[in-house]
Structure 1
Amino acid sequence: MVHTCVVSGCRNRRTAGSSVSFYRFPRDPQRKQRWVSAVNRRGWAPSDGSRLCSTHFISEMKEPCGLEVLDKQEARVEAANALLFLKGQGPATGDQLGREPQPEEGERRAAVVEESASSSLSTDEDDDYDDEESVRDSKRGRFAETPDVSVNFDDILKALKKENQALRESVEKMSLCENSLRNDAEKVRFYTGLPNFFVLETVMWLLAPHMDRMKNVKLSKFQQLLLTLMRLRLDLRNQDLAYRFGVKVGTVARTVHRMVNIMSSTLVPTAVFWPSRAELRKNLPAALHASYPDCAVIVDCFTVPFEEPVAQGNQQQQQQQQNVLKYLIGVAPQGVVTFVSRGALGNVSDRSLAEGCGFLCKLLPGDVVLAARDLNIGESVAARGALFKTVGACQGEAVGRSEGSLPADVASETASVQRHVERVIAMVKRRYAMLTGPVESPFTAACERTSNLSTFDKIVQVACALNNLCISAAPLE
């Protein structure tokens, strides 16, 4: 739109390249009326398109480099300070526009300049600026309407801290760390098999001094123990544990092997031990008190399959029969595991296993060893001065006599002893699923020549030790 100066006789028009600036009439009613009076056009009122050119001010606004416009704020200040009284410019010729002002006109001019200096003029370039101001005001919303409302940054800071704390607790609860298990007994039982966090903390207290040499900057001591227990408890693969704890697969394998060695040398002697005869007799269950008061242990064997490459040719069937590890376990009548042998191939005889694992060395003369089935170790036990008794096998009874034809009290006793041992073995396997197999080949190799124990042999012993720390199988009834 082309603007023309509203002063009578002024022919300035807004053209490209012109150094003349054009100003809108102020919005303030009082100042606007003063401008109209200064224009001195009888009966005239400005419209939205009315403009005054810069030649009618004390000094013109100077634009640097011609086309570049001064900063709008600076332009407003300069325009306000340079405002000129538009006096004496009426229907007369344009000569009157340049005449010298009279003294009374100087006083009026000074008054208007002084009044106008406190405000700014608006040029056409200011239209966009006003639009931007209105947009910002609309975005500020209620803050623009109520500028006196102050923001309480202390409340905002407290709210952010509270939210941050809630997020931290949520992350800790989802992570596998000490704080996430401390007040969650169900989570402890699921991941470790132990009854509560107190027992887990006790195990950690026993193992911590022996873990100082384990340099692992990625996992804490507690996480190393938790990772190992999860491996035994849930039979998770190393890759799965690596994802859960954010480490490499090799780190998981090394951690499990090291922790099993520490637990085998520290925890097993503490939790799996052969009790004295006085302790056994003191708490002997009523089911054996009358018939076998000298019962020292109830024994049985169980097997665990392990992974092994299948042989070719004629050896395939024989190899499949040997792909199990056989263990001899001794359970006290009170329901705790008192002895676990090392693993042997499944085709080994019960007698060879008992004589080679150190079980017979635990017996004292006069001890009674009970079993629910014939393990073919009677002669070996007798050589130690003890008595091996297969419950239900009465003297003088014919071999092959069915259990249904046995006396009622003997049959009940046989079933009770058998259930007792099976209950303990089943509880250990159920609590630590890794014992159900198949065992991975890296765990079956003997890692120490002195003890001739494989890593899995130690795992079986550790599982029995952890089971003893829990509420174990009920005493023999």
Structure 2
Amino acid sequence: MLAVMKDDEITATVRSDYSILQLAHSFFNKHGQDPTKYDYIRQTLRESGRLLLILRKEFSIHTLEDAVRPAHFDVVIKAVKKVSGYDDEKHCYRTPSLALKLGHSLQKVSDILHCRALMAQDSNLIKSTQSFKTLYAAKWSELISHTALTTLNERHFNKPSTLPFTEDVQCLHLEKITEQALKDLEDHKNLFLFARPHCLTPYRGQDCLRLYAGECGAEKPELLRSTLLRKHVATLSQILNLKNHELDQVANFLGHDIRVHREYYRLPEATTQLAKISKLLLAMEKGSLRSLQGKTLEEIEIEELNVDTRRPTTFTPPPKNEESLRLWLKALNLKKPPKRPYVCSFHFVDKRPTEDHPIPEKWLGYEVPIKTPRRRVQRLADTDDSHCDEEADQTIPQSEATLHKDADTQWEVQALMDHTYTLEGKMKDVCDRETQCGGEVPLAHAILKNDTSCVLYTGLSLNAFFDHVKYLEQFYKANFKMHEMDQILMTMMKLKLNLLQGDLAERFAVSQGLVSRILSYWIDTMEEHMRIFIPWLPRDTIRSTMPQCFREKFPNTTCIIDCSETNLQKPHNLDSRGESYSHYYSSNTIKYLVAIAPCGLVMFISPAYGGRCSDKFITQESGFLEYLRPGDEVMADRGFTIRDLLFERRVNLVLPAFTHKGGQLSDEDVTATRRIANVRIHVERVIRRLKVFKIISQTVPINLSHKMDKILRICAALVNMQGEIIHEDAD
């Protein structure tokens, strides 16, 4: 493996150092059975050799074993920066990956020396290698790795997405070289298909590509590399709009599965998707979106847009010649033409008046009539205009009258709709949901007509909803092109009714993408600023607001707790599936803890846990215990075996009585259990009110599970904003 290395100063340094040879021996023991790893081993050895060569020339350190001594750590840092091309002014590396690789090699050499010292029982060397490892762990990241990784990340983000030119790919196929290569394959002594002449090793694909890319005359030979060529094929396959099974065949041919093909090798932002979006942008620039109504991006053709990108739209004044002006006005066919009717270049065949086409002829709002002789109608000075129009229509054949309709009397002329500058006055009152103007009335006023409809869509009364919107608007920092009130209503409709994003998009006349962004933003914003609506009440407040049913039998109660579960879409990951499986419901669920005050106010709601978690585990891990103080009293169900946890905090636990070994409860236990159940039912009522929000009561999709902690807190806050759940007269 060392014999085939390039015979130069670096190779001589590698062969002369015992520690580097031991490093090579370690790599060979691990990868020696795989010949494809030999190049990797040789490259790693040459990297270590380059470092040692710098140490010998500039710092008088002659072996790598001396380099990994603690006293020479600063010198090694300087040598690594020197080899990797560190720039002190810009604080970046010319070759950042080399700095990272040298760190791994030095750590490996230190491990080899440490093992050798342990076997030889050399205490000095053991202490030296341990000290070097400690220094490496503490300082290497600070002095080398952090800057190298930063350089790599900056280059990654600033690197443009490039693909080889099709012409360059065609140039790469050299017929003469191909014929010569076929002749060289006739060497039967070499077992490899792509055999080197007069040698027993094969050609490496990357070496051949690099060589012939430079010789083929390509404009960008550096782009003709294996990875970029695969990207080239993958991108062209998307342009061809292949079907799924055909894409699978392409992916198998390129050496990876369909997921990798779609995720890593396609470049839609630089090719096909950009071309499709450009169609839409051209239509928006022309103001002709109405002509494309109901079409998909694939159905829009560039020809439909009729855009001349060579010159901007210009306005041509009318001609001064009387005959030319008469023809000009006749072509425009206006009832009341202005004194100087300017015409935009869109209406001319050549985008401007020419000798062949001196007057406007295109998109004039009417079709050119068939030139058939007809009787001239003379208008009298005292004749009513409408009467003249009726008489004129009677003198024209029916087919011609249909074609010769005046432009100003048409309800909608598609070509004129493209001219947005002619409709400025008419369009002032027209607003798209995604381009709302500031003075538009929110759609919420039309949807929420009374308290009944407001409770249906949001869970709040009408006054409570508007107060809530006023509170949240002060935290709005986004720039969605939609009224803030409508955004909040959309989010609350998602929480209350769990409507599909497509349904919300239809109701609010926006795109599904905008709905997704609005929901994500407002769930985060609401959760952050609605935490104040889930307060942990002071003990005096709990006592003063305690209903009569608690005062009589349980006057020291601080809170009532219970756990609830919501179905979860079955995860694909087996570990996640096991963690979320609930044996009680025999399905995958999320589980959360709810604690309410005796008055019915939600004081605590835990994050969402997997359905497999026990009540005790959630109580201990959710942070609920941190709110309890000595002397408090917690009421719970039988499943909460948390008496030991509460005893440490000097908190009393009230539970229904248990039966032991099939026995029956005593009369006192039956009475106590009945009294506890009579007041503990209120936490069930609060949870039922919480599950009125269908996003919690219905099956939670996997893609929403990461937001469930925030959704639970928002819904709990909305429950607290509703009316009282425990009424004194009902008690």
**What is the CA distance between 1:306 and its match in structure 2?**
1.5
SS at match of 1:298: strand
Cα separation, 1, equivalents of 2:550 and 2:515: 46
Question: What residue number does 1:328 align with?
Answer: 593
Question: What residue number does 2:561 align with?
Answer: 299
Q: Which has the larger radius of gyration?
A: 1
Of 260, 268, 279, the residue aligned with 2:541 is 279
Question: What residue number does 1:257 align with?
Answer: 520
**What is the CA distance between 1:316 and its match in structure 2?**
7.4
Question: What residue number does 1:215 align with?
Answer: 479
Over residues 145-176 of structure 1, what are the superposed CA-to-partner deviations in whole Å (9 max), with x where a residue is unaligned? xxxxxxxxxxxxxxxxxxxxxxx9xxxxxx97
Question: What residue number does 1:375 align with?
Answer: 640
Q: Which amino acid aligns with 2:645?
A: S
SS at match of 2:475: helix
> Residues 64-213 of structure 1: matches in 2 within 5 Å?
177-181=443-447, 183-194=449-460, 196-211=461-476, 213=477
Question: What residue number does 2:489 align with?
Answer: 226
SS at match of 2:563: strand
Cα separation, 2, equivalents of 1:207 and 1:346: 33
Structure 1 portions without partners, runs of 5+:
1-66, 78-128, 137-167, 169-174, 446-454
SS at match of 2:600: coil
Cα separation, 1, equivalents of 2:608 and 2:468: 25
Between the two proteins, what is the percent identity of the paired residues? Answer: 25
Over residues 87-145 of structure 1, what are the superposed CA-to-partner deviations in whole Å (9 max), with x where a residue is unaligned? xxxxxxxxxxxxxxxxxxxxxxxxxxxxxxxxxxxxxxxxxx9x959x99xxxxxxxxx
Q: Which has the higher strand share?
A: 1
Cα separation, 2, equivalents of 1:475 and 1:392: 28
**What is the CA distance between 1:374 and its match in structure 2?**
3.1
Aligned pair in 2 of structure 1 residues 198, 68: CA closer, same or farther (>3 Å)?
A: closer
Question: What residue number does 1:386 align with?
Answer: 651
Aligned pair in 2 of structure 1 residues 240, 283: CA closer, same or farther (>3 Å)?
A: same
SS at match of 2:530: helix
SS at match of 2:691: helix
Aligned pair in 2 of structure 1 residues 385, 72: CA closer, same or farther (>3 Å)?
A: closer
TM-score by length of 1: 0.57
Cα separation, 2, equivalents of 1:307 and 1:69: 78
Cα separation, 1, equivalents of 2:501 and 2:665: 47
Question: What residue number does 1:105 align with?
Answer: none
Question: What residue number does 1:443 align with?
Answer: 704
Cα separation, 2, equivalents of 1:72 and 1:290: 103
Question: What residue number does 2:672 align with?
Answer: 410
Question: What residue number does 2:690 align with?
Answer: 428
Q: Note the aligned Cα RMSD (angstroms).
A: 3.6
Cα separation, 2, equivalents of 1:475 and 1:68: 89
TM-score by length of 2: 0.38
Cα separation, 2, equivalents of 1:188 and 1:301: 29
Q: Which amino acid aligns with 1:187?
A: S
Structure 2 portions without partners, runs of 5+:
1-372, 382-387, 396-429, 431-440
Aligned pair in 2 of structure 1 residues 68, 356: CA closer, same or farther (>3 Å)?
A: closer
Q: Which moved more, 1:219-228 or 1:375-384?
A: 375-384
Cα separation, 2, equivalents of 1:69 and 1:411: 105
**What is the CA distance between 1:349 and its match in structure 2?**
2.1
Over residues 414-464 of structure 1, what are the superposed CA-to-partner deviations in whole Å (9 max), with x where a residue is unaligned? 32134211111011102x11111311222212xxxxxxxxx1111111111
Aligned pair in 2 of structure 1 residues 203, 245: CA closer, same or farther (>3 Å)?
A: same
Question: What residue number does 2:681 align with?
Answer: 419
Aligned pair in 2 of structure 1 residues 443, 205: CA closer, same or farther (>3 Å)?
A: same
Question: What residue number does 1:245 align with?
Answer: 508
Over residues 153-203 of structure 1, what are the superposed CA-to-partner deviations in whole Å (9 max), with x where a residue is unaligned? xxxxxxxxxxxxxxx9xxxxxx97232256511111111010x22100111
Q: Which amino acid aligns with 1:443?
A: L
**What is the CA distance between 1:235 and its match in structure 2?**
0.9
**What is the CA distance between 1:298 and its match in structure 2?**
0.2
Question: What residue number does 1:365 align with?
Answer: 630
Cα separation, 2, equivalents of 1:132 and 1:315: 82
Q: 8 Å contact 2:599–2:726 — kept in the other structure?
A: yes
2:721 aligned with 1:469: yes
Over residues 246-304 of structure 1, what are the superposed CA-to-partner deviations in whole Å (9 max), with x where a residue is unaligned? 122121122112111111111122x1111000001112122221332221000000011
Q: Once superposed, which parts of structure 1, at least 4 consecutive aligned residues long, lie more than 3 Å away?
A: 67-74, 308-312, 314-322, 397-409
Aligned pair in 2 of structure 1 residues 70, 372: CA closer, same or farther (>3 Å)?
A: closer
Over residues 52-83 of structure 1, what are the superposed CA-to-partner deviations in whole Å (9 max), with x where a residue is unaligned? xxxxxxxxxxxxxxx99987568xx9xxxxxx
Cα separation, 2, equivalents of 1:403 and 1:253: 55
Cα separation, 2, equivalents of 1:329 and 1:364: 18
Q: 8 Å contact 2:579–2:611 — kept in the other structure?
A: no
**What is the CA distance between 1:406 and its match in structure 2?**
5.5
2:708 aligned with 1:460: no
Question: What residue number does 1:309 align with?
Answer: 571
Cα separation, 2, equivalents of 1:73 and 1:240: 58
Cα separation, 2, equivalents of 1:72 and 1:249: 60
Q: 8 Å contact 1:372–1:417 — kept in the other structure?
A: no
Cα separation, 1, equivalents of 2:580 and 2:445: 48
> Residues 333-348 of structure 1: matches in 2 within 5 Å?
333-348=598-613
SS at match of 2:499: coil
Question: What residue number does 1:16 align with?
Answer: none
Cα separation, 2, equivalents of 1:229 and 1:471: 18
